[in-house]
Structure 1
Amino acid sequence: MATASQVAAYRTAVDDLSVLAINELNNALLALDGVDPRKVRNTLIAAFPELIGPYITTAGELTAVWYEDLRRAALGGTFYATASGEVNAAQVNALVRWGVRPLFGQSDSTALSLIGGGIQKMVAGAGRHTIDANARKDVASTSWARVARPGACKFCTMLAGRGAVYRSKEAAGLVVGSGSDRTGFDEAGKRLSGGIGGGVKASGNQALNSKFHDFCRCVAKPTFYTIGTWTDPRTGREERSLQPIAA
């Protein structure tokens, strides 16, 4: 199941949704050009569910179908996957408040790049969460491999090179870092005080323990297992074991 071409096609579909969502953000920012930054911030927070929410929802629905297809090819039978794709109000609030800092002269980046990175992660995350949630309730035991795109960063390439060794999607997607964890932002988007040693150094713009960094296009691919039998040569007894259906 899940050949390289199938994974590539799935990734492309999710990428297209991310591009469309970021285009919506860009159009909104252009329409709000010259408006007071506070009004821009509040407008984006209020409009986010209607503006970006459909793309997040579609990513979850698309992934649910993909999971069903992968499972059917591996195990046969019928399994109805549940799509994930809710818009988290606290997450949106924090992302927008953090992302509009350039409008207040507090960052050299652009609001489009900062908020757009978060949007891409939300859209891709809806797919990743869908796979994770359904695998957890599925009767088939599952391990995970991280599939990185060609030319991915060293961090993603390193994790992908480990193969299907992860026992959960969180382990396959974990972002690690070093330094102090005392610097960051609260849910309202305000910077927390403190921080030593230069702060946490994580891959991308995300905090320590984020599953995937901004603009990460890795896919956590499930491997389904079935219960098989084998004969122990030492005892002659038949033993049961999990056998992977696909790598």
Structure 2
Amino acid sequence: MATQAQIQQYRLASQTLVTLGQSQIRDVLSAFGPSSNPVLVRDALIRYFPDFMTAFGDTAAVLGADFYDMVRNLPPSAGTVQTVFAQPAKVKQSEGVVRWAIGSLFAGEWDSFESALLGASQRLILQPQRETIDLMAQADARSGRVSAVAWSRQVHPERARTGKSCDFCIMLAGRGPVYRSQEAAGAVVGRGSDRTGFDADGNRLSGGIGGGITTRGLQERAASFHDECNCTTVPTFYEVQDRPGGRYPQVLVPIS
């Protein structure tokens, strides 16, 4: 189970990476201004923005793998699974973000355009990081080293304290490690349930296991974190323990 110090270290490294990526985007934008031709701004961004997302996304995937290894190596968890790195945002996805954000500039709203572009860049940079952690957790569970992996969502403590975290993120975080996938813990749209069927102590919950979440609209579930979302999804590892004489002879117990 991840400690708060580990989560904070991971969160700080992620934010530093995002800040560097957004700084490079601002360097490109510095050649333009509110009165610039939106077509020229769009063309410049389509040339550079996908490369930024690839470069910083690759680094983000490494950060995600390092975080997973750090959490997974907590005693008595011995050994790690083979590292699997998720791919950065595809070129078409990055170009789509540029074309979407530039709409505000065509309407003469430079600040809205810049805010939308930078916010989306944060999500795209961290996308492979979050997906890498999920891929490694899936491999870990398949390997038999753990009996199960559940996920919880944690909001940024300072943003929550100052009221900057959105209510939906806070609601998801309050559920604890009850999600069967990192993707479900990060979901911001959809109906249904991804309950594991166990509470934080490994006791079976009433209502059974959820059947999954069906998305609303056209948003992909892989893009489930909203722009400028500072939430972190944290894995909790479980092992099976026998409890003779109890209502349930076997329960899942968190590995601490």
Residue 107 of structure 2 is matched in structure 1 by 105
| TM-score (norm: length of structure 2) | 0.76
Which stretch of structure 1 is more off in the superposition, 217-226 or 74-83? 74-83
Task: Output the CA distance in 1 between the equivalents of 2:126 and 2:37.
Answer: 31
**Percent of residue pairs bearing the same amino acid type:** 35
The SS at the match of 2:79 is coil
Over 6 Å off, 4+ runs: none
Q: Kindly report which structure 2 residues correspond to 1:131-146, keeping only aligned pairs within 5 A, or say none.
A: 131-139=133-141, 140=146, 141-146=148-153
Deviation string, structure 1 residues 19-60 (Cα, Å, up to 9, x no partner): 111111111011244653212212211212333322111111
**1:57 equivalent in structure 2:** 58
Matches within 5 A, 1:5-20: 5-20=5-20
Q: How does 1:17-96 map to 2 (within 5 A)?
A: 17-33=17-33, 35-74=36-75, 75-96=77-98
**Partner SS state of residue 138, structure 1:** helix
Task: Name the amino acid aligned to 2:253.
Answer: Q
RMSD: 2.7
2:156 to 123, 140, 149: 149
Q: What SS does structure 2 have at the residue aligned with 1:73?
A: coil
Structure 2: runs of 5+ lacking an equivalent: 192-215
**5+ residue gaps, structure 1:** 179-200
One-letter code aligned to 1:111: F
Deviation at 1:107, TM superposition (A): 4.6
Q: Give me the whole-angstrom Cα distance separating, in 2, the residues matched to 1:9 and 1:177.
A: 31
Aligned length: 218
The equivalent of 1:123 in structure 2 is 125
What does residue 180 of structure 2 align with?
167
TM-score (norm 1): 0.78
Q: CA separation in 1, counterparts of 2:80 and 2:228?
A: 33
SS of the aligned residue for 2:239 comes to strand
Maintained 8 Å contact 2:186/2:225: yes
For 2:60 and 2:220, the matched residues in 1 are separated by 25
Cα deviation for residue 240 of structure 1 reads 4.1
CA distance in 1, matches of 2:117, 2:190: 22
Distance in 2, matches of 1:78 and 1:143, equals 17
1:89 deviates by 1.6
Matched letter for residue 145 of structure 1: S
Aligned residue for 2:17, secondary structure, equals helix
